[in-house]
Structure 1
Amino acid sequence: MRSSIRLAAAAFTVAGLAFTFTATSSQSVLAQAAKQQAPAKQAAPAPAAQPAEPAPQPVKQIALTEKQVEGVLAAQKDLDAITDKLPQDAPPKPDPKITAQLDEVAKKNGFANYGEYNDVVENVMMVLGGFDPKTKTYVGPEAVIKQQIAAVNADKKIPAKDKKAALDELNGALKQPQPAIENKGNIDLVTKYYDKLAEAMEDE
C-alpha cells in the first residue's frame, strides 16, 4: 500500500515488521509530494555542507479509538486502488482529483478527511514500531531495532553488501531518539488489533 500503512521492508530479508515501522515514515505519496512543494533555497557560496534531507516532522500524537483503527483497516482496499496507479516518483504537486478521491475514501470510513486518516495511521505505526512480532507484545522501538540487528547478523544468506547496508541503516535508526508513546491506551488498542494490522502489512 503506497498510501500510508505499508511494509517497505524485506529488502534484506529481515524478519519482522517492527523495524520498518520505526525506520520509515507513514506519510502517503501525496503527503510526501506536498512537503516537496516548498521551493528549495539557493545554496550560499559557503564552505559548509548543506543537509541532504530535511529532518522528519515529529508525529502528532493522538489518543486512538477503536473506531479509528477499524476505519484504517477498512479503508485500505479502496485506498490501494487509488494509490497503486500513481507513479513511483511523487509529482511536485499533488493532483487535486487524486486528493479528492482519497478524501472521499477517508470520509466513507469515518474520517474527516485524508489528513485525519494519516494522523491515525502515523500513531498506529509509531506503536507498531515498538512491537516484538514474535511475542506480539510492546517492548519499545529500541529493543526491536536491537533484535533486528541481531537477526541480520545471524542471517548467513544475506549478501555481505546488503548486510552492511542493512546494519548501517539499523544502527543509524538506533542512534535516533525514539519518541515516547504519550497515550498508553494506544498500545492496548494496537495489541488488540495486532494480528489484523500485521496481516495488512504482510499483504504488501
Structure 2
Amino acid sequence: MPLSFRPVVVALGVGVFAVAVASVSSSAVFAQANKAAPAAPAVAEPAMKEITLTEKQVQGVLAAYKDIDAVAAKLPDDQDTKPDPKVLKQLDDVAKKHGFASYDEYSDVIEAIGMVLAGVDPKTKTYVGPAAALKDQIAAVEADTKMSADDKKQALADLNEAAKDPGPAVTNKTNIELVLKNYDALSQALDDDE
C-alpha cells in the first residue's frame, strides 16, 4: 500500500470511528458528484484488507500511537499536497521503533483494528458488526438531549450517510477476540486523540 495516509486512524475517536471507516467510500460519492465535469478517470479507493492481527501488533499500536500522531501532525492536511520525505521517513522510523516493518504495516494493523472497532457495541463490548453499531450510534444521537440541534443534525447526517455503506463485517474471529481483549486500552488510546 502506498503511503496514502489512510487517515491516521488513531487521530479519530472511537465514537466516530465507524463513520471514519465508512467514509472511505465517501470518495465514490464525491466522484459521482463530479461526474458531469470532464476529468481524468476516477481512481478506485483500495479495498480495506483484513489481516490477521497478533498480540504483539496490538501492543505495538498501543505503544506507538502517541509517537506516530506527533509525527503525523506534521503532514499536510491536503491529501493532494505531497508530504515531506523527511516526515515520511520519521513515520517509518517510529513504526520500526515499535516493532513494525514500516509505517505501511502500522497502517494495515490500525486498519484491521479499526474494522473491528467499527462493529463493537461500546456498552456491551461485543462485536455486533458495523451496520448494527451505526444503528446504535444513530439511536444514541437521536436520544441525546444535551447535543445542540445543529450538532445533532450534522451527526445524524454523517451517521446516516455512513449507514448507507457501513463497511465490511470482520470475518476473522481472532481479530475480534484480540481487539475485544484489548478494547479498553484501545478505546482509551483512540479517545486520547480527540
Question: Structure 2 length normalisation: TM-score?
Answer: 0.79
Amino acid at match of 2:95: A
Amino acid at match of 2:73: D
**Contact preservation (8 Å) 1:21, 1:126:** no
**Contact preservation (8 Å) 2:113, 2:179:** yes
2:85 to 79, 92, 96: 96
2:11 to 6, 9, 12: 6
Deviations 1:15-67 (A, max 9, x none): xx35x2221149xxxxxxxxxxxxxx99439xxxx99x976432111111111
2:63 to 59, 64, 74: 74
- The alpha-carbon deviation at position 200 of structure 1 amounts to 0.3
Deviations 1:113-138 (A, max 9, x none): 10011001000001001111111111
Bigger shift: 88-97 or 63-72? 88-97
In structure 2, the CA distance between the partners of 1:168 and 1:81, relative to structure 1 (3 Å rule), is closer
Aligned residue pairs, count: 175
Cα distance in 1 for partners of 2:159, 2:44 equals 18
**Alignment of structure 1 residues 55-204 onto 2, 5 Å:** 56-90=45-79, 92-204=81-193
**Contact preservation (8 Å) 2:119, 2:130:** yes
SS in 1 for 2:10: coil
> Percentage identity across aligned positions?
55
Amino acid at match of 1:23: V
Cα distance in 1 for partners of 2:163, 2:44 equals 16
In structure 2, the CA distance between the partners of 1:166 and 1:120, relative to structure 1 (3 Å rule), is same
- Segments of 5+ residues of structure 2 without an aligned counterpart are 1-6, 23-34
**Aligned Cα RMSD in Å?**
2.8
- The alpha-carbon deviation at position 161 of structure 1 amounts to 2.3
Structure number with higher helix proportion: 2
Cα distance in 2 for partners of 1:103, 1:188 equals 28
Match of 1:44 in 2: 38
Cα distance in 2 for partners of 1:73, 1:185 equals 18
Amino acid at match of 2:106: Y
- The alpha-carbon deviation at position 147 of structure 1 amounts to 1.1
Cα distance in 2 for partners of 1:160, 1:177 equals 24
